[in-house]
Amino acid sequence: MRIVLVTGNYNHIPDGVSLTLNRLVGYLESIGAKVLVVAPTIENPPIHHSGTLIPIKSISAPGRKEYRVSVGLGKVKKTILDFKPDLIHIATPDIAGFQALKLALKHQIPVVSSYHTHFSSYLEYYGLSLMEPLLWKYLKYFYSNSVHTYVPSQSMIDTLKQNGVKSDLRIWARGIELDKFNPDKRDLAWRQEMGIKDDEILVTFVSRLVWEKEMDTLRSTFNALHNRDLKVKTMIVGDGPAGPELRETMPDTIFTGYLKGEDLIRAYASSDVFMFPSISETFGNVTLEALACGIPAVVADAQGNKSLVVDGYNGFLVTPKDADAFTTKIMKIVNDSNLRIEMSKNATEFAGKFTWDKIFKELIDNYAQAIKNYQK
């Protein structure tokens, strides 16, 4: 199988999209597939990428210089055609993704797409809500021309259908390495080094620190917890543009900065409650990682999140942007040790369903179907 992957994120920023796609390419090559990755890049990228990367021209995203925006495929179109792909997989509906779609349609190459970012939910954070109808018009056109569109969760499929996307929508979930992410990585000595007493409950948030992850709700909730007479510590793992203001306005919260590998896993497993207020997730990798480490999750009741958290079983679903509701649900877990223990056990059990090997095998089966059923 010869596959071209066209994506806006691959090695220039270590976000969930990049990490997932690198893992996919590594898996494809391990089973003998030939893969060509077409994506923007930078000098000295933070990710040591998998596979053969063909760089395309890009510019810094307006207001978010850490992200790159492609300006098109240019001469790489010929490189793609010379590769003679059996399938083109487009991960980002940007300019390069649109041009790759047109190239595939013109040359009768099966094309599939994957939906990683819930773009419409970002518009309000940048004062662009009026553009939402136009965005959905474009997305409906884009995905209707894909043989399949792979979506991380059923709740996200439901959202796309509600907005008129009529593609063949199929679930491509995310996996977890259970040998790495598990409760055994809890480290009491590390907690003490971080200033957390043995009888204190640690509430943790993990993500890039960007306002569209609902940082205002996070800040209000964490500050409210500190104003209660509770043995609670709060911790933020990650960094980003919102970091400086959050550090200044959340003096009682521990900020670890960006963590990866064993350091990240230890931070998860050494926590007691996970909070994630974002409403822009298509899946929620960090929530799955927390659950695998046995940490009950209190998350916004939104697409992506509600495919991972079963309310009252392995955490709680909370009305989006409602800091009082988040505070109440977190306090419920903090104040009830039996509930905390039960939810921790349920969290680990639930996460056990998500193994990368099973998920990638299902995706390869879908690739094969897309190639076989493509009507030229």
Domain ranges of the chain: 2-175+355-373, 183-351
Written as one string, the DSSP assignment of 14-38 is -SHHHHHHHHHHHHHHHTT-EEEEE
The per-residue pLDDT for 246 is 97
Cα–Cα distance, 40 to 64 (Å, whole number): 15
pLDDT(15) > 90? no
Domains 2-175+355-373 and 183-351 share a fold: yes
- DSSP 3-state of 12: coil
The predicted model gives 226-231 an average pLDDT of 88
| CATH class of the domain defined by 183-351 | alpha beta
CA distance 313 to 354: 17
Task: Name residue 317's beta-bridge partners.
Answer: 299
Q: CA–CA separation, 323 vs 224, rounded Å?
A: 8
Residue 197 has pLDDT above 70, yes or no: yes
According to CATH, the topology of domain 2-175+355-373 is Rossmann fold (3.40.50)
Band of residue 45 on the pLDDT scale cut at 50, 70, 90: confident
Residue 283 DSSP class:
S
> Is residue 340 scored above 70 in pLDDT?
yes
Task: Please name the helix (run of DSSP H) or strand (run of DSSP E) that holds residue 365, with its range, or none.
Answer: helix 356-373
Q: What is the mean pLDDT of the chain?
A: 92
Q: How far is CA 98 from the centre of its chain?
A: 22
pLDDT at 124: 63
Q: What is the pLDDT of residues 141-194, one digit of tens each?
A: 999 999 999 998 888 899 899 989 988 999 998 999 999 999 999 999 999 999
Identify the pLDDT of residue 12: 86
Which pLDDT value is given to residue 375?
A: 65
SS3 state at 169: strand
Q: Let me know how long the chain is.
A: 376
Bridge-partner residues for 149, per DSSP?
113, 169
Reported confidence tier of residue 122, pLDDT bands at 50, 70, 90: low
Q: Collapsing DSSP states into helix, strand and coil, what is residue 111?
A: strand
Enter the tokens of residue 209. Answer: 């620190």
pLDDT, tens only, 300-325: 998 888 889 999 999 999 999 999 99
Q: Is the pTM of this model over 0.85?
A: no
pLDDT in the model for residue 130? 73
Q: How many CA atoms lie within 13 A of 301 on its CB side?
A: 12
Q: Is the pLDDT of residue 270 over 60?
A: yes
Span 217-236, mean pLDDT? 94
Whether pLDDT at 123 is above 60: no
Given this model, what pLDDT does residue 202 score? 98
What is the average pLDDT across 272-277? 98
pLDDT band at 221 (very low <50, low <70, confident <90, very high): very high
Q: What is the pLDDT of residue 218?
A: 98
Q: 163-195 burial, b for 16+ CB within 10 Å, e for fewer?
A: eebebbbbbbbbbbeeeebbbebbbeeebeeee
Residue 298 φ/ψ, nearest 5 degrees:
-110, 110
Predicted confidence (pLDDT) at residue 120 exceeds the cutoff of 70: no
Q: Cα(173)–Cα(170) distance, rounded to whole angstroms? A: 9
Mean pLDDT of 84-105: 96
- Average pLDDT of span 105-132: 78
Give the mean pLDDT of 211-233.
94
**Residue 82 per-residue DSSP state:** H
Q: What is the mean pLDDT of residues 252-258?
A: 96
